[in-house]
Amino acid sequence: MNRGIFPPELHNCMPKKFNFVNPIIYTCIYMIKQITEKVSWVGKVDWELVRFHGDEYSTHKGSSYNSYLIRDEKVALIDTVWLPYDREFVSNLKQNVNLHDIDYIIMQHNEIDHSGALMELLDEIPDTPIYCTKKGEQIIRGHYHKDWNFVNVKTGDQLCLGQSTLTFIEAPMLHWPDTMFTYMDEGHILFSNDGFGQHFASESLYNSDVNQEELMYEAEKYYANILCPFSQMVSRKIQQILSMNLPIDLICPSHGIIWKDNPSQIVEKYVAWSDAYQENQITIVYDTMWQSTRLMAQAIADGIREADSEIKVKLMNITHDDKNDVLTECFHSSAVLVGSPTINNGYSFAIAGILEMMQGLKFKKKKAASFGSYGWSGEAVKKINAHLENCGFELLNDGMTCLWVPEADTLDKCREFGRNIVESIHSPIN
């Protein structure tokens, strides 16, 4: 079997308990879940996932790859699953539907976590049309190098399945250029792909059946780390969908929980998150070698709390705290303080990494300052300032340095630095 450009080890990265030879195992561990009379969930819950996008994203709660099967007079499959689970996915489908009864495959977005089972599936039903955007076709061809039966669609195009009709809505850069949503009139269902999703594994399909605080945190983390750079496009797309006056009873993303109980709540969150979101919080991100910069960070935090007890202060050591959790805290902060000792005339490797990620996420209307200890040169603070400006932050001051280990008077100055930060963040953004 020609598996395209993907090496065989990707098909061998499943836990040993999964046996591709015996399809009966799939029936036991992997079942269809009915959503409506016509719509079923046929995806994969990945409890063991801890890292995603290579090592770029932490998934403390696992994830799911949600695929949906619509059975009307015509049968449509919306999205597939991640590549390592392609054979499991197709075997499961066979237990529940004759593959040759699938009339349409709808690919809303074509990263490997969504399109990964296409090769395996189309080996079985090679002529089945794939409905996707024009950019989606380009990406599928780029991934799999196959001349499949592509049907390009754009916003407003419809596909009648019999009693129900699907309407396609292009959503470029939410979060890839090929992304689209699909609206099903019967059941008032919005299949939103990565929009409104979370990396969140659960036995249940629905938002009402899980811990609400955990769910909303994972939804915000997903937005902050993946969709934040495209906030303007998120805002425009939501306004466009709202202007279409579509009744929506279910939002079915391609990762995590389906929004069934008050689905508008996640739409409202996206409206807020896409508008230069911030809370009454300051996040202090630091690295330290011999604890001097840590002592500075703690004293600065004390000064902030002394000046305003209502401000939430998050103190985060970037070498110990998860980088995506750090970025999530920065996302809903009004100001971010970054500290590092001077190392080789610069700042630490870990601080360099988190600053580079901040720059890519394009946070809006946030303020920032820097601090750090040094021994004989002291360039870190100046260089951090330059990077913070490149990230789009407004600098509150020139930063604060400490020669060697801070003594009591220096820690007093750090607390004063913190108090001044509070005063500065209340001044208007330039």
Q: Which one of 255, 270, 286, 329 is the catalytic residue?
A: 255
Structure tokens at 41: 């969930």
Told to judge if 426 belongs to the known catalytic residues of this protein, a careful annotator would answer no
**Catalytic residue selected from 194, 220, 329, 394:** 194
Q: Is 114 known to be catalytic?
A: no
Residue 222 bears catalytic tag: yes
Residue 199 catalytic? no
Q: Residue 188, SS3?
A: coil
Query: Would residue 332 show up in a list of annotated catalytic residues for this protein?
Result: no
157 is catalytic: no
Whether residue 131 contacts residue 105, with contact meaning beta carbons closer than 8 Å, is answered with yes
CA-CA-CA-CA dihedral for 251, 255, 258, 264, to nearest 10: -40
Distance between CA atoms of residues 140 and 150, nearest Å: 10
C-beta separation of 311 from 282 below 8 A: yes
Of the residues 222, 223, 277, 286, only one is catalytic, namely 222
d(CA 174, CA 227): 6
User: Collapsing DSSP states into helix, strand and coil, what is residue 41?
Assistant: strand
Distance of CA 58 to CAs 222, 236, 267, Å?
A: 10, 28, 24
Q: Dihedral through CA 286, CA 287, CA 292, CA 293, nearest 10?
A: -30
Respond yes or no: is residue 111 known to be catalytic.
yes
Lateral strand order in the sheet of 104-106:
33-34, 39-41, 68-71, 75-78, 104-106, 130-132, 150-152
Packing angle, helices 212-222 and 323-331, rounded to 10? 90
Q: Which of 68, 88, 109, 270 is catalytic?
A: 109
Catalytic one among 57, 79, 131, 175? 175
From the list 46, 79, 86, 111, the catalytic residue is 111
Which is the catalytic residue, given 79, 113, 220, 287? Answer: 113
Q: Residue written as tokens 């990077």? A: 387
Active site residue ranges: 53, 109, 111, 113, 175, 194, 222, 255
